Amino acid sequence: MSAFSRVGNDAFATTALDTLESFGVATAQIRRDEKAATGIALIGVDREGENTIVVIGGANMALDISDLERARAPLAGTKVLLTQREIPPSVSLLAAERARAAGAIVVHDPAPAPSDGLRDEELRAFDIVTPNESETEALVGFRPDNAADAQRAGRALIARGVRSAIVKLGAGGVHVVGPDCDLFVPPFRVKSVDSVGAGDSFNGGLADALARGLGLPAAVRFAAACGALATTRYGAAASAPTRAAVESLLAQG
């Protein structure tokens, strides 16, 4: 697994790189930017464990075509590319194009979603999109509050050109719509204390499962278990579950 990004030349960069490497993530494609500070996120958590995040993009937003050229070989050999909107969208789109041309599955987490949504041509660049409730509202014009709403939103995204849509309802479960599936994955019963990192764990678990060859329904269930377990611990990266813990939760039915 490789990360593709930029960091600054500061203490936050050292922390970020050390943390990634501790999880076994290759950091060779992460470039130090001498002009921009490392991107950070300021996270507030309420009494219910729900969070609000303010992102300061920093060096991440300085990514350009030169970074893609440096990553040409890794992109050509990847099985799954996971993108989001904390780097310039033009870079994500070009990376998606190159990865798909090489046979990869491209997953896009539309976070933070722009208030005016995404254009159809942007959606068509991705195999799978994974919006949460607020991101779904930005993309399709209404906020899903239940499984039926999530299904309707997923179908709307399919109609606009994305191949598969996974609409996340937080503690309410997940609905996935794809070429060969249209199903609701109910939430796992866990004791949640902090939702920070749940979406990231979901997407990381989804990418991992797809890379291991799981079909979309099984991959979504694996991802949902990852997201659920992330809510049982405090913190962001620190809340990411191990595969053993995820498989244990899945075995409980």
Is 200 an active-site residue? yes
Kindly give, in sequence order, each residue whose CB lies less than 8 Å from that of residue 173, ignoring residues fewer than 6 positions away.
Answer: 147, 150, 184, 185, 186, 187, 224
Residues 109, 127, 194, 200: which is the catalytic one? Answer: 200
CA atoms within 13 Å, Cβ hemisphere of 223 = 31
Residue 177 in contact with residue 151, Cβ under 8 Å? yes
Residue 31 in contact with residue 6, Cβ under 8 Å? yes
Q: Give the 3-state secondary structure percentages of the chain, helix then strand then coil, rounded to 5.
A: 45, 20, 40
Residue 85 in contact with residue 110, Cβ under 8 Å? yes
Residue 125 is classified by DSSP as: T
Closest CA to 168 of 107, 125, 211: 107
On the 0-12 / 13-18 / 19+ scale of CB atoms within 10 A, 109 is: buried
39 vs 46: CA distance, rounded Å: 23
Catalytic machinery residues: 200
